[in-house]
Copies of this chain bind each other. A is one copy, B any other.
Amino acid sequence: MALIVHKYGGTSMGSVERIRNVARRIAKWHRAGHQMMVVPSAMAGETNRLLELAFSISAQPEPRELDMIAATGEQVSIGLLSLALKALGVCACSYAGWQVPIKTDGTFSKARIIEIDGARVRRDLEAGRIAVIAGFQGVDDANNITTLGRGGSDTSALALAAAFAADECLIYTDVDGVYTADPRIVDQARRLECITCEEMLEMASLGSKVLQTRSVEFAGKYRVKTRVLSSLSDPLMPLEDEMRSGTLMTFEEDQTMEQVVVSGIAHQRDEARIAVLSVPDTPGIAYQILGPVARAHIDIDMIVQNQSVEGRTDFTFTVARSDYARAMDILNASVKAQIGARQVIGDPQVSKVSVIGVGMRSHVGVARTMFRTLAEEGINIQMISTSEIKISVLIDEKYMELAVRALHKAFELERG
């Protein structure tokens, strides 16, 4: 008997029939003798509906009240899923975040989990009941409802798995695992049976959207055995098949990944590039440029600063395309004059393509293969950034699919 955590996304919970299917799957696991904790998201579209209501009342809604409103989506889900389980003859009990309690700090809309008190839930588990726990939400020291930010249900599931020392955390989603590239772009893309936590982290931060970045950090920190798999498969498929499906996140990288240099090609379409030209190359200049942008809650991704020439340099960075206009306004309105830059230019039609793999730490040839492949396709590289296990390039958006396909082929990812 193992302790298993299941997490189901909004699409899996999207209708009464889908909720029934989720219940059938959980009941199957439970009947196989496992202790079960389940974390469902709000029904698809529900969180947006609630937030739209809030924003139609106030253009700048108070985060505390937003969380009060948004948390109801998951509360409805846990009730419905518990009912569906009971209709199958399985004992289940729902928990709002504050009932567990899942204690967080007081940063509304982006709260961080501090502590989970497992006593009450553990009693339920030991009595053979399935604990159905609201994802995305918690409670702060002052008894306010908090939410963890978009995709926070993944974090809830992994935090619960860590707190209860669960044997495995299964993240059910609308894809059947992590692929070597987006299958909608690359026909030959292949599902990875396993992936290291660090690779998953790069995938998540690169917009592959399989798992929220913070939830992967959680899994890594507490070494939670985590599997990403499809909620669209037959809920009554044999358990042993299901336990081998999807993609498993691993922590013993050397053992499982010995042969593999590059695991996958990730991309992020909706990027925008901004360049502040000819700024004085003095200490603090990066802060003077990026500080006002960050204060407007605009996330900055790649940052590049050129070698300075005659005391002046160019400073380039990327933001999400949806933040482009606002970032340009901020720079042109005040920053440009303050720092004495010559010009602020930008391009909102760029995309990022990345080659990811823990194996590249010890292989120098990855960058060379990547740049040669793009050159052969006539694709100009606008920016480059690297980490230990990733090389990212910024290119014109219109070449993005071409770049992903060419790189997938160049690294022979279709072979496995």
Contact = CB atoms under 8 A, between A and B. Distances in A.
A159 interface: no
Given A62-B86, A72-B72, A79 B54 contact: yes
Indicate the size class of the contact surface on chain A. 35 or more
B98 A83 contact: no
Contacts of A19: 57
Contacts of A78: 68
Contacts of A82: 62, 65, 68
A66 B72 CA distance: 14
Interface string A21-65: 000000000000000000000000000001001101110011011
Contacts of A62: 82-83, 86
Given A50-B76, A76-B50, A143-B99, A84 B57 contact: yes
A20 interface: yes
A354 interface: no
A99 B97 CA distance: 13
B76 A58 contact: no
Given A57-B83, A96-B145, 17 more contacts: A16-B57, A19-B57, A50-B76, A53-B76, A54-B80, A57-B80, A57-B87, A65-B79, A65-B82, A65-B94, A66-B79, A68-B94, A71-B75, A72-B72, A72-B76, A99-B143, A120-B143
15 contacts: A16-B53, A16-B56, A53-B76, A54-B80, A54-B83, A57-B83, A57-B84, A58-B83, A62-B86, A65-B83, A69-B75, A69-B79, A69-B80, A72-B72, A72-B75
